[in-house]
Structures are given as C-alpha cells and as structure tokens.
Amino acid sequence: MLAIFDKSVAKAPEGLKSPHSDSVSALKDGFLVQHFSSVHPGSININLGGVGGSMGYSTDKQNPLLPRLFAVVGDIFCLFQGHIENIAVLKQQYGLNKTANEVIIVIEAYRTLRDRGPYPANQVVRDLNGKFAFILYDSSSKATFIAADADGNVPFFWGTDCEDNVVLSDDAEVVKKACGKSFAPFPKGCFFTTSGGLRSFEHPLNELKAMPRVDSSGEVCGATYKVDADSKKEAGMPRVGSAANWSSHY
C-alpha cells in the first residue's frame, strides 16, 4: 500500500526529515505512484484531487496472514493491512452487518469519531485487537487518520520528500525511493491525525520525543519516537455535537 499526502494535509513530525536527505518530489509528474505501479503490477492508483495527494493499492506479494484491503465509503478512502481479532465485537459496537471487514470497521470508527465523538481517538485505536496498520483520508475535510498496532506486527514505513510531503507504505524501498534518508518505521502503538499530529494511543497524555536513527554508514536517517514519561499533553478530545467535525477538534 502507498499514500502520499501534501504537506498541507499531513505535516510530518519534527525529526523525521534527515539533515543528510537525498529526497526527491514524490508527487511531481506522478513519480512515486508510477514507481509503485512498476514494482507492484496490477496496482490500483487513486488521485485524491486538489492538494490531497495520491494512494496506491496492490495485492501483489502480500502476506496471506496480513492481507491488504482497500475501500471507499463516501468521501473516505482507507487502506488497511493485517487482521483484527475482535471483529465480531466491533461489528456489533458500530452497528455493522456480518459482511463488514476490517477496512469497513476502521472507516465506520472514524466516521463515529468525526460526527459524534463518543470516545477519544486513542481509545478507538486501542479497541482494535490484532495485527494492523491503516491509512485513512477524508477528502471532505482533508484529514488523515493513520495508525499501527502496539507491537508493530505489520511492516509500515513513513518519510518526507524534498517538498515535505508525507509518504507512507508497507514497502520500505518505495518510501526510500522518494524520501532518501528521511524515512523510518512508523512508530508502533501510535496514531497520526492531521490536526493532532503523532500520538501514542497507549500513553495518550504523554508527548513523543524524536530519537535520531543512524544508518550503517553513520548518517542520521529519519527518527524513531519514544514516549516521554516526563511530559504531559492536555487531557483528551472534547465531545462534539453531531453537526461538528471531529477532525477540527483533535
């Protein structure tokens, strides 16, 4: 899976961009989408329009134990990889029918957050028991919702290109093609939103600290993120009415 988000849609956290990066533009002339298609034949590519960015989906070379899924519901686009163990409970919780799969559950969870906000976003992600990574884009509000499970079971990487656009994929080589040394594994146990940035869903009240990564040649290569036990964020997301947009409050 592949997603490229314009910097106005997804602002990369401090530290992800390497001072020694040899990155290029992922979006210019469809560069990275074309590369993704060349290494993953038969892929589906989606132009998110305007300043949104692009997405790519392929079942090529997928792990049968961690399948990839893609769905579009209304203005919401979602890529999902892995599996959820408590899927029956979540279907009941979100009022979904028996045929709903993991990617539909994530979309419905996001819509519930956006439109009604009954739970903090960190609780919604923590309720997903399993091995997973997902990338969601809401084109109506130009908002992203991205997460990886607490153990980092699914290969999932992100980085920034030369224009500070954010690139995400389960294929590290695809990310490095555009981002050079400005890439890293997506932090396990974390989620990212357009308005709230990178957060830990296991420790939502703590700040995350960027820890520089060093490659085999000794050069700084993106950053990993660790929970800072000494710093606290303000308490949770405010409850909003059904007419309000969750993404603007978090």
Does residue 250 form part of some domain? no
Does residue 237 form part of some domain? no
Does residue 115 form part of some domain? yes
Q: What pLDDT is recorded for position 243?
A: 39
pTM, to two decimals? 0.88
Query: Residue 147 is part of which domain span?
Result: 2-231
Q: Find, among 80, 137, 140, 150, the residue nearest to 110 by Cα.
A: 137
Strands (E), the chain: 2-5, 44-47, 53-57, 68-73, 76-84, 130-138, 143-148, 157-160, 166-169, 183-185, 190-193, 197-200, 206-214, 220-232
Does residue 193 form part of some domain? yes
CB 112 within 8 A of CB 94: yes
Does residue 76 form part of some domain? yes
Does residue 248 form part of some domain? no
Q: Find, among 136, 187, 169, the residue nearest to 1 by Cα.
A: 169
Compute the distance between CA of residue 36 and CA of residue 55 in angstroms, rounded to an integer. 10
Q: What is the CATH number of the domain that holds 206?
A: 3.60.20.10
Does residue 236 form part of some domain? no
CB 46 within 8 A of CB 231: no
Both tokens of residue 22? 């040899």
Does residue 153 form part of some domain? yes
| pLDDT tens track for 202-236 | 887 788 888 888 877 777 778 888 888 776 665 44
| pLDDT tens track for 63-102 | 999 999 999 999 999 999 999 999 999 999 988 998 999 9
Q: Spell out, as residue ranges, where the chain has pLDDT lower than 70.
A: 117-118, 231-250
For the chain, the domain total comes to 1
